Amino acid sequence: MVYVTRKSHFSAAHRLYNPTFPHDKNEAIFDKCNNANGHGHNYTLEVTVRGVPDPETGYVIDLKILRDILESEIIEKVDHKHLNYDVDFLRGIIPTAENIAIVFWNILESKIPAGELHSIKLFESDSNFVEYFGEPVRIPKYDLSNSSNSKEIPV
Ligand code: NI
């Protein structure tokens, strides 16, 4: 078995908060990540496919094909977007790296034409990343369409 990885990059904004929590609790848990207008990350996405190299090509999966799938299914939809508001497949999901990785797996799993999806590794920064191997996880959905629990700014 050989493990083949394609690395991609995207930049996006998000805000971490749970609309069922009072403001103080969101501040305590999510701290700066709860900033009402969001904040940004330069994400790095590593998608690993495992398989046996094809005897005639030597490829587990043609990395150009994997690149194109990642580009059309993921990167084009999240790059330079606000993950709370702009991305259909993330709607209602608290956009932590953990949850984003699970959603990306669910999108990609059935679209890999050779080998099998092995892992999704998502870096939010050089120091912080998550890795997901496809164990079933249910992600709760919330109404994140407004920021009514955010701190009111007097005008
Ligand atoms: Ni963040």
Catalytic: which of 33, 73, 98, 118? 33
pLDDT tens, position by position, 2-45:
999 999 999 999 999 999 999 999 999 999 999 999 999 999 99
Global model pTM greater than 0.85? yes
Catalytic residue from among 9, 76, 80, 109: 80
- Which CATH code, of 3.40.50.300, 3.30.479.10, 1.10.3720.10, 3.50.50.60, is assigned to 2-132? 3.30.479.10
Distance 114 CA to ligand 1 centre (A): 33
Q: What percent of the chain has pLDDT over 90?
A: 92
For the beta sheet containing 116-123, the strands, ordered from the edge strand earlier in sequence to the opposite edge, are 81-82, 2-14, 39-51, 116-123, 129-132
Is 71 a catalytic site residue? no
Residue 135 falls in the annotated catalytic set: no
DSSP secondary structure, the chain, as one string: -EEEEEEEEEEEEE----TTS-HHHHHHHHGGGG-TT-EEEEEEEEEEEEEPPPTTT--SS-HHHHHHHHIIIIIHHHTTEETTTS-GGGTTS---HHHHHHHHHHHHGGG--SSEEEEEEEESSSS-EEEE------------S--TTSPP---
pLDDT (0 to 100) of residue 144: 77
- 46 as an active site residue: the answer is no
- For the chain, the structural domain boundaries read 2-132
